[in-house]
Structure 1
Amino acid sequence: MTTDIDWDNPKDPRAGSWQRDHVRQYVASDGAEGQFWNGTQTLLLTTVGRVSGAPVRTPLIYGEDDGRYLLVASNSGDGAHPLWYRNLTEHPEVRIQVGAETLHGTARTATPGERAAYWPVMLRHWPAYDDYQAKTDREIPIVVIDPLG
């Protein structure tokens, strides 16, 4: 794990956004407020900015498989990958907060076989992922986070 990153002081989403409010509520309550949102579960992902080198925190819907955490880089079907995904492709070290638990991990893009298996898992958490995929020409990646022991 990179020691020169100040994981405890990440940049949050821009002021006035629902995401910033979600992050602040999640952190202040140790996940009691915000882990469950709009009928699904969320975590806080902290990546290292690929340009700035500073930690950046984002709330995301997640799934789980055999101790791994799964994220969908949908960007609501936009033509470009979300910034958090571009960050972790440059710096795969991440930190996540799931409820009150915080842990470090290594993130990677799911293989084609994993993506095929995990897509239905993630649709159970957020059915709109199919709509997002239909809106874009890019294949929406699924990210697998392996927690570090």
Structure 2
Amino acid sequence: MSTSFNQAIIEEFRANGGKVGGPFEGGDLLLLTTTGAKSGREHTAPLGYVRDGDLLLIVGSAGGADRHPAWYHNLLAHPLVQVEIGTDAFEAIAVPAVGARRDELFERVVRVVPGYADYQTQTDRVIPVVMLERSDEGEPPAITNLADKLLQVHTWLRGQLDHVHEEAAAYVAARAAHQGGAAPPRPGLGLRLRQHCLAFCQFLEVHHTGEDSHMFPWLEGRHPHLADTFRRLGEEHRTVSRLQKEIVALLADIDAVAPERFMAELRSLTAELHAHLDFEEKNLIPVLAEIRLPFG
């Protein structure tokens, strides 16, 4: 689809609570916003989807073309995506299915939208099926001040970091079992760990960059007696960033990395980040609680 055609659909979708006419009328449509793999800019694409339990499935058919769509390359580089369905907007982690799992999900999709089978016959590439896993859980807490907002972000970070540890433990256990003579780890386990870990690092980097560039300088101007606190928080950000980069480098070829090395790096990041979040909350929550939201 052309850029202008896509943009017209996006505008109609947002103006009408997710409903559009033309060739997509009556179909299940979502808007997927990804971060450009090379540009770093946001890109939004209207895509059909199929529900599978709690998962949303999207398909990189590209109309049967011989190349994956741009949004697929984007989510491999930056797995944390924005999803809009109707009037609901939320973050999700994009995890491509591979091997038998991909084939199983593709069959489910084709039962709902048979046209995807036709697209697969038009190309030699394996058309990707991507699982969108909603990253938030339950109703968001009431946000009345900046302290509430900071705690919401920190709760998300702690929860996602716990999830990364769960994925890593499953991956390491499967690798160890294989070395002991069991069946090899199922395809995609390393990719799943990679996507969840990258999504966590992606969000953390944006959060810390925003604090360093905007929130901390603004707060220091209002509370100069906290200058030493902000300097320490900035130093901790740099330490966390270094640890993040080391983990991201390992994720580039996770199946070739010794599991013990990856787990050691993950434990280092976890210890540093937990200490940082605790220190930030202890020192900033009293100040942030006095700043009501929304501003005005």
**TM over 0.5, yes or no?**
yes
Question: How many Å separate the matches in 2 of 1:66 and 1:148?
Answer: 15
Distance 1:123 1:41 in 2: 14
In structure 2, the partner of 1:88 is 75
Partner of 2:31: 44
The corresponding residue for 2:62 is 75
Distance (Å, rounded) in 1 between the aligned partners of 2:3 and 2:19: 22
The one-letter code sitting in structure 2 at the alignment partner of 1:146 is E
Number of the residue aligned with 1:104: 91
CA distance in 2, matches of 1:49, 1:118: 26
Match of 1:116 among 103, 113, 121: 103
Q: CA deviation at 1:50?
A: 0.8
Contact 1:40 1:125 survives alignment (8 Å): no
Structure 2 residue aligned with 1:128: 115
Residue type matched to 1:59 in 2?
Answer: P
Q: Over residues 81-125 of structure 1, what are the superposed CA-to-partner deviations in whole Å (9 max), with x where a residue is unaligned?
A: 000001101110101001110010100111323212211221133
| 1:35-67 CA-partner distances (Å, limit 9, x unpaired) | x92452110000001111111000001011221
Counterpart CA distance in 2 for 1:63 and 1:14 is: 24
Aligned: 1:64 with 2:51: yes
Question: How many residues were matched structurally?
Answer: 134
Residues of 1 paired with 2:126 and 2:16: CA distance?
35
Query: Residues of 2 paired with 1:48 and 1:118: CA distance?
Result: 25
**More helix, by proportion:** 2
Identical-pair percentage? 34
Query: SS of the residue aligned with 2:43?
Result: strand
Q: Which moved more, 1:104-113 or 1:77-86?
A: 104-113
Q: Tell me, yes or no, if the aligned pair for 2:10 and 2:45 is still in contact at 8 Å.
A: yes
Q: How far apart, CA to CA, are the structure 2 residues paired with 1:116 and 1:145?
A: 17
Instruction: Compute the TM-score of the two structures, normalised by the length of structure 2.
Output: 0.43
Shift in CA distance, 29/38, structure 1 to aligned 2, threshold 3 Å? closer
Letter in 1 for 2:63: S
Q: How much does 1:79 deviate? A: 0.6
Matched residues in 1 for 2:34 and 2:58: separation?
13
Q: Indicate the structure (1 or 2) with the bigger Cα radius of gyration.
A: 2
1:142 paired residue among 129, 147, 152: 129
Q: So what's the TM-score if we normalise by structure 1?
A: 0.83
Q: Which residue number corresponds to residue 14 of structure 1?
A: 3
8 Å contact from structure 1 (residues 45, 60) kept in 2: yes
8 Å CA contact 1:62, 1:125 repeated in 2: no
Structure 1, unpaired ranges of 5+: 1-12
Determine helix, strand or coil for the equivalent of 1:97: strand
Query: Aligned with 1:137: secondary structure?
Result: coil
